[in-house]
């Protein structure tokens, strides 16, 4: 009788029970549990098989008998061992690697295939130990002697048929024949293959982790100025047990050294490879330098004779220098907001540098607006009443001077001329006399040439009436 009971705390509860055997004597002595939870029961039997509760034959007077049961006591198979005499089974245990160890007594000689050794005594019992095997080959795992840190190791523990329905149990709790490992240090992992009939076989694999490249030390130079691609990066040293090392930048070709120049801003991936094939991946970032900015604004339109204040705006707060391109035309060369008073349309520029010599430049045109406002009277009355007593040229500030003023009578005789004088000054013009004598009222012709501040000259012709 075999059964399972449970301790309820107040008594014993029978979960299940089952009788096994035949019409003669059958006894059970010990039981072990397989990795799948099935039960292997060890005992002795002298009953003939009834092919329900016993299937194995009677070999002698009394045989080793062990049964394979489910967790609920359903018999899956049974087997007898021994010879033509008597055997007495006493103990069963799992072997350290696979199968089971059966121990008891025997008085039988060789009885193939159930007993392979003769009795030692004469009608006395011998100690008889039976080691069971498995009907399938065990897993054959090979150690991995050189494994780089972070490498993924694939282990296949699959055993071929007839291990149909076998289960795989790893000592780290994993299941299944295929495993992936990425250990941080050398490790041994063990797998146990369990057949549905309770037979188990195990093997282990040692994954040896070797150190790869480490402790990379590097230096370099940053970007010099905004927009430049002149950074550098070079590796000074790498630690590791397997030099010489090779280097690859951003997935490029492997090189024996890591000296990189003319680099643009951005993120870079550097790979280091040793002779064992182990790698060190690292990344570094080259920063973009701050752009130096200076702005003089849009072009400026200015009337002749006026002044205007320039304004240079920059993003720099301190540690910078600047230089005006027209130092003689600005009110101060040491300020960013000088006044200018150009005589002609002029382009002003400024060059600004930061402490590293990075520069920015801008320019602005100051455009002088030409009003061309020249006024020449068409009559005057030199009668000494202080009203229109002189004929002269009137102009705005765009005119620098009157280069010439000439008066002719109707026959072309020159009556008056004056050169290089300021406009708007009546007394510098004609008083209506010729050789000191006042002329009679008449119509006269004038020729006037004026010079502007921008360097231009202009000629005016017309008639003027002398009145009294």
CATH number of the domain residue 308 falls in: 2.60.40.10
Domain assignment present for 220 = yes
What are the phi and psi torsion angles at 156 (to 5°)?
A: -115, 110
Domain assignment present for 66 = yes
Question: Is the model's pLDDT at 1 over the cut of 70?
Answer: no
| Rounded distance between C-alpha atoms, residue 462 and residue 12, angstroms | 142
The number of folded domains in the chain is 5
User: Which residues, other chains included, contact 365 with Cβ-Cβ below 8 Å and sequence gap of 6+?
Assistant: 299, 300, 345, 346, 347, 348
Q: Say whether both 40 and 87 belong to one domain.
A: yes
Q: Say whether both 25 and 95 belong to one domain.
A: yes
Highest mean pLDDT among 48-52, 189-193, 445-449: 445-449
Domain assignment present for 137 = no
Q: Say whether both 222 and 319 belong to one domain.
A: no
| Rounded distance between C-alpha atoms, residue 226 and residue 354, angstroms | 11
Domain assignment present for 138 = no
Q: Say whether both 224 and 206 belong to one domain.
A: no
**What letter does residue 49 receive in the DSSP assignment?**
P
**How far apart are the two ends of the chain, measured CA to CA in Å?**
162
| Rounded distance between C-alpha atoms, residue 4 and residue 2, angstroms | 7
What are the phi and psi torsion angles at 327 (to 5°)?
A: -60, -30
- The residue among 286, 318, 338 that closes a domain is 286
What pTM did the predictor assign? 0.56
| Rounded distance between C-alpha atoms, residue 226 and residue 342, angstroms | 34
Element (H, E) at 384: none
In which residue are the tokens 């801008």 written?
A: 362
Task: Note the pLDDT tens digit of each residue in 85-131.
Answer: 999 888 998 887 777 899 999 999 898 888 888 888 777 788 999 98
> Which residue range(s) make up the domain with 328?
294-369
Torsion angle defined by CA atoms of residues 43, 46, 50 and 54, in that order, rounded to the nearest 10 degrees: 10
Task: Note the pLDDT tens digit of each residue in 407-423.
Answer: 999 999 999 999 999 99
pLDDT score for 408? 97
pLDDT score for 344? 85
Domain assignment present for 136 = no
Among the residue ranges 35-39, 55-59, 432-436, 456-460, the one predicted with the least confidence is: 35-39
Tell me whether strands 279-286 and 346-354 are parallel, antiparallel or unpaired.
Answer: unpaired
Q: Say whether both 206 and 221 belong to one domain.
A: no
Task: Note the pLDDT tens digit of each residue in 321-354.
Answer: 999 999 999 999 999 999 999 988 899 999 999 9
In which residue are the tokens 């690859």 written?
A: 248
**What letter does residue 277 receive in the DSSP assignment?**
S
| Rounded distance between C-alpha atoms, residue 448 and residue 461, angstroms | 6
Q: Say whether both 362 and 341 belong to one domain.
A: yes
What are the b/e assignments for 272-300, b being 16+ CB within 10 Å? bbbebebbbeeeeebeebeebebebeeeb
- The residue among 267, 286, 305 that closes a domain is 286
């Amino acid at each position: 009788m075999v059964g399972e009971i449970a301790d309820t705390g107040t008594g014993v509860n029978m979960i299940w029970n089952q009788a096994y055997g035949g019409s003669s004597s059958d006894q059970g002595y010990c039981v072990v549990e397989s990795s799948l939870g099935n039960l292997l029961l060890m005992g002795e039997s002298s009953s003939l098989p009834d092919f329900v509760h016993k299937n194995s034959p009677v070999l002698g007077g009394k045989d080793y008998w062990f049964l394979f049961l489910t967790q609920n006591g359903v018999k899956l198979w049974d087997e007898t061992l021994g010879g033509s005499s008597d055997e007495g089974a006493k103990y069963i245990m799992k072997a350290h690697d696979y199968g089971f160890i059966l121990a008891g007594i025997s008085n039988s000689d060789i009885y193939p295939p159930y007993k392979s050794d003769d009795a030692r005594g004469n009608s006395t019992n011998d100690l008889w130990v039976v080691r069971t095997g498995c009907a399938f080959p065990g897993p054959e795992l090979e150690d991995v002697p050189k494994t780089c840190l972070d490498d993924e190791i694939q282990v296949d523990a699959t055993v071929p048929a007839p291990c149909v329905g076998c289960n795989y149990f790893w000592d780290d709790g994993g299941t299944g024949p295929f495993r992936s490992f990425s250990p941080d240090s050398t490790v041994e992992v063990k797998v146990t293959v369990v057949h549905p009939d309770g037979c188990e076989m195990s093997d282990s694999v040692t994954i040896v982790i070797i150190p790869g490249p480490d402790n990379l030390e590097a230096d370099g130079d940053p970007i010099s100025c905004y927009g430049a691609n002149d950074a550098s990066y070079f590796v000074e040293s790498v630690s590791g047990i397997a030099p010489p090392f090779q280097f690859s930048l951003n997935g490029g070709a492997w090189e024996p050294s890591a000296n990189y120049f003319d680099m643009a801003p951005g993120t870079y991936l550097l790979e280091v490879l040793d002779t064992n094939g182990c790698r060190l991946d690292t990344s570094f970032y080259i920063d973009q330098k701050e752009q130096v900015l200076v702005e003089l604004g849009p072009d400026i339109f200015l009337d002749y004779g006026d002044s205007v204040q320039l304004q240079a705006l920059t993003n720099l707060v301190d540690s910078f220098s600047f230089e005006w391109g027209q130092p003689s035309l600005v009110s101060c060369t040491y300020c960013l907001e000088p006044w200018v008073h150009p005589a002609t349309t002029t382009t002003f520029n400024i060059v600004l540098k930061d402490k590293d010599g990075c520069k920015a430049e801008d320019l602005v045109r100051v455009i002088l607006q030409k009003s061309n406002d020249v006024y020449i009277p068409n009559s005057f009355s030199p009668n000494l009443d202080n009203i229109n007593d002189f004929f002269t040229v009137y102009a705005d500030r765009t005119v620098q001077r009157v280069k010439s003023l000439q008066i002719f009578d109707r026959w072309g005789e020159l009556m008056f001329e004056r050169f290089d004088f300021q406009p708007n000054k009546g007394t510098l013009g004609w008083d209506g006399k010729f050789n000191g004598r006042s002329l009679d009222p008449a119509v006269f012709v004038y020729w006037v040439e004026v010079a502007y501040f921008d360097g231009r000259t202009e000629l005016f012709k017309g008639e003027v009436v002398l009145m009294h």
